[in-house]
Homo-oligomer: A and B are copies of this chain.
Amino acid sequence: MNFDLKTYLQEKQDLVNENLEKYLPVEGDYPKEIVEAMRYSLIAGGKRLRPILTIAACETIGGKAQDAMRVACAMECIHTYSLIHDDLPAMDDDGYRRGMPTCHKVYGEAMAILAGDGLLTYAFELLTDSYEDNDTNNNRNLIKIIREIAMAAGIKGMIAGQVVDMLSEKGQREKSTELLDYIHKNKTAALFKASIKSGALIAGANDTELAVLDSYAHHFGLAFQITDDILDIEGTTSELGKPIGSDEKNQKLTYPLLYGLERSKEMAIDNVNSAVNSLSIFGSKAIPLISLAQYVLTRRK
């Protein structure tokens, strides 16, 4: 099978971007100022990794990309909300993101807080769109998807990771490998997991398939976070869209800090291999998910 990841990523990114544009146009039944701030962070950039994973998981199970589109775009809304709030002066106080001034730098803090709130809430509006057309089984699945996403984004998932990360920076948690695992399992991996599993649920995945994808997503998320930490040390500002070494400056708990750079690189590779090996039951249908996991290691380019 000929599979070109670069073409695949470009096609899916375009598809996601088209649909984000469609779901959140400039003109709508809302104040233009809030949507301008939301769109500034949502539309302009990003690799669209979470929605692409949703689509890829849906297609791996035999579903159609179009059926996954609302869920995929909802995941990008939640991801973007988390970036906007994380960048706020009271939080990480970041002035640049994806190579551009952050939302609060452009629209002010109040509007950035509301833009984040708006994107998080809009995700649930998107998720419940067009339920009237669904049959019974799909409605049951949809509630399961909403629940999966709410839990992954909330105080048992992403917010838990963010809170503990913050407390660790303030010295209110002892830095340890367990703590680092906890932070990244929640702060990063939980949303990847929800992206992947919700995509699979749209296509009607069974419990075995969900368990396999759960394992894939777990290792994918860890590999992603480890390479993120490595990129922060080795990357350049233009590759990352934020100043290099900012984690070190903030005394952030990272994999290179605890394990050293070489061991961290090995761990990233090990996790990608584990992610890939999880997928054997899907055979060649899993090629996009396999390539996406491998992409994590080389994504600086």
Contact = CB atoms under 8 A, between A and B. Distances in A.
Contacts of A301: none
A110 to B, nearest CB: 5
Contacts of A43: none
Interface string A204-245: 000000000000000000000000000000000000000000
A121 B186 CA distance: 15
Contact of A110 (B31, B90, B131, B151): B90
A184 interface: no
Contacts of A128: 143-144, 146-147, 150
A297 interface: no
Interface in A110-144: 110-111, 113-114, 116-118, 120-122, 124-125, 127-129, 131, 134, 136, 139-140, 142-144
Interface in A44-80: none
A156 interface: yes
Given A121-B159, A139-B136, A146-B124, A33 B167 contact: yes
Contact of A154 (B121, B149, B167): B121
A117 B159 contact: yes
A257 interface: no
A281 interface: no
Given A85-B117, A136-B136, A143-B142, A155 B38 contact: yes
A34 to B, nearest CB: 5
Category for how many chain A residues contact B: 35 or more
Given A122-B155, A159-B121, A166 B110 contact: yes
Main secondary structure of the interface of A (DSSP, over half): helix
Given A121-B155, A125-B151, A150-B128, A114 B34 contact: no
B124 A108 contact: no
Contacts of A5: none
A30 interface: yes
A28 to B, nearest CB: 8
Given A34-B159, A90-B110, A111-B166, 18 more contacts: A33-B163, A34-B160, A38-B155, A85-B114, A90-B113, A111-B163, A113-B113, A114-B159, A117-B159, A120-B120, A122-B150, A124-B124, A127-B150, A128-B150, A129-B147, A136-B136, A136-B139, A136-B140
Interface of A: 29-31, 33-35, 38, 81, 85, 88, 90-91, 108-111, 113-114, 116-118, 120-122, 124-125, 127-129, 131, 134, 136, 139-140, 142-144, 146-147, 149-151, 153-156, 159-160, 162-164, 166-167, 172
